[in-house]
């Protein structure tokens, strides 16, 4: 059987390249206690391969390296091979990724890293397999010493991530983004060039708050250049994952739900409805399941397919779509759809977000354990924090009072199962999660992006409920303080922290109204205002615990928000 049959899946559920290959002849094991026990019992090192269904070079490695008879024989004879999908197990990827996909990591039977890299061609892989086996057999004391030192350093990382919450940090992160901006082509840096939707959203928000229109223009120019260049599929719609060139002309052709969620949000924040609508055309036409309303995780990279025009694609099989439903990414898209309706008037997207969230929570939500990550895979921090933001957004959008209960359940779950009682903030895996002693999963990691999302969700829920005794805002600030020290090493990727921190340093603002024109008048001067959709037209503006008299005048709404929130 070739690896191209069954859409690249074998009987063990592993996904291989859709093109002919022999990678399935390697006796791959899933990440499991049984695989680690076998490695210990047979005293063999582990070959950990982290791949993704959308990853071009993962497919190339299947077709070349893992189809080479020498590699197949060496791996089956000398190693316990474990194959992990990055999208299914982000916790494993977080701890073992060696700089990209595919990741090729060589581990001790206990799961500590010996060495590793990314794509290895056949000859290089044969050499690495031989050298690692020899080293593992002959250098046990040295390996043991390195493992102990690595564990000691890992234990110190969480405390080192804490920092002070001060406005200057927002300024520094914004300055880093402005310094990396490419005025000619848009975006940030040179090549490879990623879209960085969080940085674009930060520019849009700070443009409004600081009254600096050039920041908005940076975001709009970046999105426009992506959408008109090679980063965008001008036949079927949708953004590719990133560009290999500075001018966006030569993309990596995979399309990711996660990326689109962020980009839809950035397009809504910058008012670029035409691009947004075309990206939604792709999402709804290709990734959305019309029966459930849920969205698939990704579509494969296929260089030859995407280089064709509409006529050329007509006779070809479209690239593989990973139909697995990932909770966090679906929740992030729902948040973006609700934002698009609020800012641009897209009631259909509000309906789709509502259907998506109802079906997703029905399928994957348990009040005690939170959201599962995908079918038969337990949830992680990313699923819970995006679930919190989505439930809070659904409550604000008037999609039903049940979302209040779900949002509070997720907020409490975060504190109970993921929370750090000493430093605040949230770890990426729940306390007592299945398999927590396998390899480096024993290390507790507090990721900056997810803690920033958690903080925004907690602050928006606090603004909606207006109950200081719940302590939601304090939890948000503790989460941000627990990772603030990581900002410098994250660079542009700290944009989410800046977005959350700037909210934490301001009084919460809630606008209750059924008139979207009034809501947009408030958002035009204060992008952090939480809009509570209600029956009736006049807007009630509350800043902190103080509410103003109702008004149905958009200009008065803007003036009141500016004055009450101290923006003038």
Q: Do 455 and 533 fall into the same domain?
A: no
Burial (Cβ within 10 Å: 0-12, 13-18, ≥19) of residue 165: middle
318: DSSP letter: P
Strands (E), 10-67: 46-51
Cα 524 to the center of its chain, rounded Å: 27
Q: pLDDT: is 565 or 533 the higher one?
A: 533
pLDDT per residue as tens digits for the range 526-558 = 999 999 999 878 999 999 889 999 999 999 999
* Global pTM value: 0.95
Task: With a cut of 90, say whether residue 146 has pLDDT above it.
Answer: no
Helix (H, G, I), strand (E, B) or coil at 107: strand
CATH code of residue 282:
1.50.10.10
Whole-number average pLDDT of the chain:
94
Region 325-351: mean pLDDT is 98
pLDDT per residue as tens digits for the range 351-400 = 999 999 999 999 999 999 999 999 999 999 999 999 999 999 999 999 99
Region 22-33: mean pLDDT is 97
End-to-end CA distance of the chain: 69
pLDDT per residue as tens digits for the range 411-452 = 999 999 999 999 999 999 998 888 888 999 999 899 999 999
* Alpha-carbon span 507 to 448, nearest angstrom: 23
* Lowest-confidence segment of 31-35, 200-204, 394-398, 436-440 by average pLDDT: 436-440
Percentage, residues of the chain above pLDDT 90: 89
Region 275-301: mean pLDDT is 97
CATH code of residue 153:
3.40.30.10
- DSSP β-bridge partners for residue 113: 107
Of 159, 186, 213, the domain-final residue: 159
Task: With a cut of 70, say whether residue 3 has pLDDT above it.
Answer: no
326: its two tokens:
């990932």
pLDDT per residue as tens digits for the range 225-248 = 999 999 999 999 999 999 999 999
Cis, bond preceding 102 (omega within 30 deg of 0): yes
How many C-beta atoms surround the C-beta of residue 159 within 10 A?
Answer: 12
Residue 370 near residue 412 (C-beta atoms within 8 A) = no
Of 114, 131, 159, the domain-final residue: 159
pLDDT at residue 143, rounded to an integer: 85
531: DSSP letter: E
Burial 532-560 (b: 16+ CB within 10 A, else e): bbeeeebbbbbbeeeebeebeebebbbeb
| Number of domains, the chain | 3
Q: Do 61 and 191 fall into the same domain?
A: no
pLDDT at residue 12, rounded to an integer: 54
Region 296-315: mean pLDDT is 95
Of 483, 505, 527, the domain-final residue: 505
Residue with tokens 């581990």, as numbered in its chain = 107
pLDDT at residue 535, rounded to an integer: 86
* Lowest-confidence segment of 49-58, 155-164, 181-190, 404-413 by average pLDDT: 155-164
* Alpha-carbon span 493 to 145, nearest angstrom: 34
Q: Which residues, at least 6 apart from 381, have a Cβ–Cβ distance to it below 8 Å?
A: 414, 418, 426, 427, 428, 429, 447, 450, 454
pLDDT at residue 16, rounded to an integer: 96
Q: Do 351 and 339 fall into the same domain?
A: yes
Task: With a cut of 80, say whether residue 7 has pLDDT above it.
Answer: no
Q: Do 116 and 197 fall into the same domain?
A: no
Residue 419 near residue 442 (C-beta atoms within 8 A) = no
Residue 541 near residue 405 (C-beta atoms within 8 A) = no
Task: With a cut of 80, say whether residue 106 has pLDDT above it.
Answer: yes
- Give the relative orientation of helices 347-364 and 381-396 as an angle to the nearest 10 degrees: 130
pLDDT at residue 101, rounded to an integer: 95
Helix (H, G, I), strand (E, B) or coil at 115: strand
Task: With a cut of 80, say whether residue 151 has pLDDT above it.
Answer: no
Residue 27 near residue 76 (C-beta atoms within 8 A) = yes
Segments forming the whole domain that contains residue 550: 511-564
Q: Do 330 and 244 fall into the same domain?
A: yes
Q: What is the CA radius of gyration of the chain?
A: 24
Q: Do 390 and 535 fall into the same domain?
A: no
Q: Do 474 and 543 fall into the same domain?
A: no
Q: Do 103 and 170 fall into the same domain?
A: no
Q: Which residues, at least 6 apart from 404, have a Cβ–Cβ distance to it below 8 Å?
A: 395, 465
Q: Do 84 and 176 fall into the same domain?
A: no
* Alpha-carbon span 137 to 45, nearest angstrom: 9
Helix (H, G, I), strand (E, B) or coil at 80: strand
Longest dimension (CA), the chain: 79
Helices (H) and strands (E) in the chain, counts: 23, 15
Residue 365: its H or E element? strand 365-366
Region 249-272: mean pLDDT is 97
Task: With a cut of 80, say whether residue 158 has pLDDT above it.
Answer: no
Task: With a cut of 60, say whether residue 108 has pLDDT above it.
Answer: yes
pLDDT at residue 246, rounded to an integer: 98
* Alpha-carbon span 147 to 250, nearest angstrom: 41
pLDDT per residue as tens digits for the range 40-54 = 999 999 999 999 999
What are the strands of the beta sheet with 321-322, ordered from one edge? 255-256, 298-299, 321-322
Q: Do 230 and 250 fall into the same domain?
A: yes
Q: Do 144 and 243 fall into the same domain?
A: no
Q: Do 379 and 527 fall into the same domain?
A: no
Region 319-337: mean pLDDT is 97
Strand pairing of 509-513 and 242-243?
unpaired
């Amino acid at each position: 059987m070739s690896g191209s049959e069954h859409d690249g899946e074998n009987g063990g559920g592993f996904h291989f390249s859709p093109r002919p290959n022999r990678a399935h002849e390697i006796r791959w094991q899933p990440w499991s206690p049984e695989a680690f026990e076998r490695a210990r019992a047979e005293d063999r090192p582990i070959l950990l391969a982290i791949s993704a269904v959308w990853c071009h070079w993962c497919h190339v490695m299947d077709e070349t390296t893992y189809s080479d008879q020498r590699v197949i024989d060496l791996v089956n004879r000398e190693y316990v091979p474990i194959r992990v999908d990055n999208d299914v197990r982000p916790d494993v990827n977080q701890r073992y990724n060696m700089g990209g996909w595919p990741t090729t990591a060589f581990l001790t039977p206990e799961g500590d890293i010996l060495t590793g890299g990314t794509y290895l061609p056949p000859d290089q892989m044969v050499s690495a397999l031989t050298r690692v086996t020899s080293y593992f057999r002959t250098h046990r004391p040295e390996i043991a010493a390195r493992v102990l030192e690595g564990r000691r350093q890992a234990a110190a990382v969480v405390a080192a991530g804490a920092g002070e919450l001060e406005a200057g940090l927002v300024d520094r992160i914004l300055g880093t983004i402005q310094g990396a901006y490419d005025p000619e082509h848009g975006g940030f840096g040179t090549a490879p060039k990623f879209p960085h939707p969080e940085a674009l959203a930060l520019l849009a928000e700070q443009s409004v708050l600081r009254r600096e229109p050039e920041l908005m223009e940076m975001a709009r120019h970046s999105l426009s250049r992506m959408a008109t260049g090679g980063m965008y599929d001008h036949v079927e719609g949708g953004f590719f994952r990133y560009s290999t060139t500075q001018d966006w002309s030569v993309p990596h052709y995979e399309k990711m739900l996660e990326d689109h969620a962020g980009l839809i949000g950035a397009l809504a924040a910058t008012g670029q409805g035409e691009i947004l609508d075309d990206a939604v055309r792709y999402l709804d036409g290709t990734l959305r399941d019309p029966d459930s309303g849920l969205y698939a995780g990704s579509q494969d990279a296929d260089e030859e397919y995407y280089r064709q025009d509409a006529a050329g694609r007509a006779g070809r099989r479209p690239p593989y779509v990973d139909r697995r439903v990932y909770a966090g990414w679906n929740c992030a898209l729902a948040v973006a759809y609700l934002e698009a309706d609020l800012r641009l008037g897209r009631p259909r997207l509000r309906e789709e977000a509502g259907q998506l969230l109802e079906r997703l929570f029905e399928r994957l939500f348990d009040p005690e354990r939170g959201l599962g990550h995908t079918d038969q895979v337990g949830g992680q921090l990313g699923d819970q924090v995006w679930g919190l933001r989505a439930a809070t957004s659904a409550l604000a959008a008037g999609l039903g009072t049940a979302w209040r209960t779900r949002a509070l359940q997720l907020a409490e779950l975060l504190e109970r199962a993921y929370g750090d009682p000493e430093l605040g903030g949230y770890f990426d895996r729940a306390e007592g999660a299945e398999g927590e002693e396998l390899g480096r999963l024993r290390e507790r990691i507090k990721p900056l992006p997810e803690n920033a999302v958690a903080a925004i969700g907690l602050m928006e829920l606090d603004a909606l409920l207006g109950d200081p005794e719940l302590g939601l805002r304090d939890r948000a600030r503790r989460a941000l303080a627990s990772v603030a020290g990581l900002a410098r090493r994250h660079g542009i990727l700290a944009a989410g922290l800046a977005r959350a921190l700037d909210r934490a340093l301001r009084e919460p603002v809630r606008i209750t109204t059924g008139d979207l024109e009034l809501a947009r008048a408030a958002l035009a001067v204060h992008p952090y205002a939480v809009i509570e959709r209600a029956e009736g037209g006049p807007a009630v503006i509350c800043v902190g615990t103080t509410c103003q008299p109702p008004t149905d005048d958009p200009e008065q709404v803007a003036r009141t928000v500016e004055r009450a929130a101290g923006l003038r």
